[in-house]
Structure 1
């Protein structure tokens, strides 16, 4: 099995923009959810891979979160999990975060705002991924 196939199995969702690939693995967390109180919680693991020739820095993020009723929320902010990582060529940056919803299903997608070593700013796609709670 190739390394790329193994990553595709671990991270079920990916998108590539230029030399940057964003991979996502998502997990429903039953122990942090309370369906009787309309609260479902997921963790997501993001890996950002730099396949370019120079370093890039992640400056910000924009998330579009859609719940099971079709209600959208937008989250815009600096960095990720309190960090504005510089990702060297040929390396990656991983982080884990979470998302609560008031419905047992939904989805997330978005983009990262990044800057190259030469100062050029660019946007990188975060692939859409489903948030699915236990079978009802």
Structure 2
């Protein structure tokens, strides 16, 4: 049997009852390699397999470009939202990442709060950002 989710979201991290899945796509129409601009979109799915509701409060991203430079991004919520994820449900969103190199990588974590007010950390799996130039190398 084929695991459709694994095909759609090849990058997965499980943190307790929370699963974070990631699919990434290079966007040639938003990239301009001759101007040192490469752009990727990433689709995140957060699944709550626990028995309690959680709310996403914060995000942390570690972005590494092709030269090894590290960029850290911290902020409230995701794409302007602080979603509530009930037991057995999931939350999806799509965002993007520009780089001035044709390759890089991203990883990080989300901070949630549960029904009791306790903080819950969900890891975001590391995933590569590869332009066609890098994939073919």
Into which bin does the TM-score normalised by the smaller protein fall?
over 0.9
Matching residue within 92, 104, 125 for 1:106: 104
2:110 corresponds to 1:92: no
- TM superposition shift of 1:135: 2.2
Q: Secondary structure at the match of 2:133?
A: coil
Query: Counterpart of 1:118?
Result: 116
Measured after TM superposition, the shift of residue 62 of structure 1 is: 0.3
Aligned residues: 134
Tell me the distance in 2 between the aligned counterparts of 1:24 and 1:9.
Answer: 11
2:77 matches 1:82: no
Which residue number in structure 1 is paired with residue 18 of structure 2? 20
Say which SS state the counterpart of residue 60 (structure 2) adopts. strand
Match of 1:44 in 2: 42
- Write out the 4+ residue segments of structure 1 that deviate beyond 4 Å after TM superposition: none
Offset, 1:123: 1.1
Task: Please list every run of 5 or more consecutive structure 2 residues that lacks an aligned counterpart in the other structure.
Answer: none
For 1:55 and 1:122, locate their aligned partners in 2 and report how far apart those are by CA, in whole Å: 11
Please report the RMSD computed on the Cα atoms of aligned residues, expressed in angstroms.
0.8
